[in-house]
Structure 1
Amino acid sequence: MQKLEQKGLLPAQMLADLPAFIARIEALAAELGLALSEFQADHLALRVNDWETAEVLHQAWLAYGDEWSNNQINGRPIIVIGFHEPIKIGCWTIEALELPYPGDKAYPQEGWEHVEFVIPSDAADTDTLKLELDARFPSLAAQWENLTDKGIKVKASSPSGEKERLANPTYAFKKGGVCIKLHPCSLKAVIDSETDV
């Protein structure tokens, strides 16, 4: 725990830092032309660079919620913890935390990394999702070609765990150490799909 405290990664420290992180998320959303206030902020995600830190954090966050899922995705555990008390911040109520154990990528900054928002859709692939995002967010649609010039990295993916039955294509927009991800289904819905027969 002392190591977590030194890194500013104790849950209490991270929760205290959350308003500043969300302000950076809101600034990135404004730059992208994304009006996200009416959409569900599904979950928060953090990043750490070593396995030991991930193990200690995993246990520390269990004081704040229940483990909804421990799933192997891209060869590493991804832990999802549903908060006992959803976190209210800004206009959003966030119900879960995603804690990926580290892979082979080192992050320049450990701590909060992204927020995922649910943009309800039946899109089963990233091409269809992009068309729907363009229709819903005209300001974003007008600037896809210029995002790289603004220093915004865009990544389309369709991550999935071994047992998931629900397609959840995702667009990620990253700049300045924060990331916004947009997808059609909540993490809880995806996890629930694992148990559907």
Structure 2
Amino acid sequence: MQKLREAGLHPEQMLVDLPAFMARIMALASELGFSLEQYQADHIALRVNDREMAEALHQSWLVYGEEWSNNIINGRPIIVIGFHQPIQVGSWVIECLELPYPGDKAYPQEGWEHVEFVIPAKAGNTDQLKVVLEQAFPQLEQQWALMADKGISVKASSPSGEKERLPNPTYAFKKNGVCIKLHPCSLKDVIESEEV
């Protein structure tokens, strides 16, 4: 627990930092030309590079919620904790936390890393999701070619757990350690699909 506090990663410290992190998310959304106010901020995710730290965080966050899922995705555990009391940040109510245990990749900074927003749609793959996103955010069509010049990296992926039945393709937009992810289904719906 002391190790978490020294690293500034104790849940109490992270919750204090959350409004500033969301302001950075909104600045990136603004640069992308996205208006995300009407969409559900499905979950927030943090990143750490040390397994012992991930285990300490896992236990510490269980004070704030219950474990909805502990799934192996891309070879490492991804923990989802549903908050007892959803976290209100600005106009969003965030109902869960994603805590990936560290894999091969080392993150330059530990702590809050991304927020995922649900753009409701029946998109089974990243090509279909791209069409959905261009309809939701018409200016995006002109933006794709400019992203790299703005220092924004874009990644399309279709992560899935061993038992998931619901496809949930994702587009991630990342700049300066802040990432916005957009996908068609909530994490809760994906987790529930595993139980069918």
TM superposition score category, shorter chain reference: over 0.9
Separation of aligned partners in 2, 1:84 and 1:141: 39
Deviation at 1:140? 1.7
Q: Which residue does 2:167 correspond to in 1? A: 167
In the TM superposition, 1:4-19 aligns within 5 A as 4-19=4-19
What is the CA–CA distance in structure 2 between the aligned matches of 1:10 and 1:155, rounded to whole Å? 29
Q: Which residue of 2 aligns with 1:158?
A: 158
Contact 1:8–1:14, Cα closer than 8 Å, also in 2? yes
Q: How many Å apart are 1:13 and its aligned residue?
A: 0.0
Report SS of the residue matched to 1:167.
coil
TM score, norm. by length of structure 2: 0.99
Normalised by the size of structure 1, how large is the TM-score?
0.99
Counterpart CA distance in 1 for 2:82 and 2:22 is 19
Count of residue pairs brought into register by the alignment: 196
Equivalent pairs: percent with the same residue? 73
Long gaps (5+) in structure 1:
none
State the match for 1:92 in structure 2: 92
- Once residues 149 and 49 of structure 1 are traced to their aligned partners in structure 2, the CA distance between those partners, rounded to angstroms, is 29
Code of the residue aligned with 1:165 in structure 2: it is R
* CA distance in 1 between partners of 2:173 and 2:105 (Å): 18
Q: Unaligned regions of 5+ residues in structure 2, if any? A: none
Residue of structure 1 in register with 2:68 after alignment: 68
CA-to-partner distance for each residue in 1:37-80, whole Å, 9 max, x for gaps? 00000000000001000000000000000000000001100000
Judge which range, 127-136 or 110-119, deviates more: 127-136
Query: Contact 1:135/1:141 (CA < 8 Å) preserved in 2?
Result: no
Distance 1:92 1:151 in 2: 27
Q: How far off is 1:138 after superposition?
A: 1.1
Q: Is the partner of 1:149 in helix, strand or coil?
A: helix
